[in-house]
Amino acid sequence: MSAVNLIGGIIAVGLAAFCVAALIWPERF
């Protein structure tokens, strides 16, 4: 796996986790 794919995957997972957290805990955002 290249560094670009690794970084892109980490960013995608981070954005997905942030979206889920915003849906579960809207008062924190």
**Distance from CA of residue 7 to its chain's centroid?**
11
pLDDT number for residue 29: 65
Counting as low any pLDDT under 70, the low residues of the chain are: 29
Q: What is the mean pLDDT of the chain?
A: 91
- DSSP secondary structure string for all residues of 1-29: --HHHHHHHHHHHHHHHHHHHHHH-GGG-
Percent of the chain past pLDDT 90, that is, above it, reads 79
pLDDT number for residue 1: 72
pLDDT number for residue 20: 94
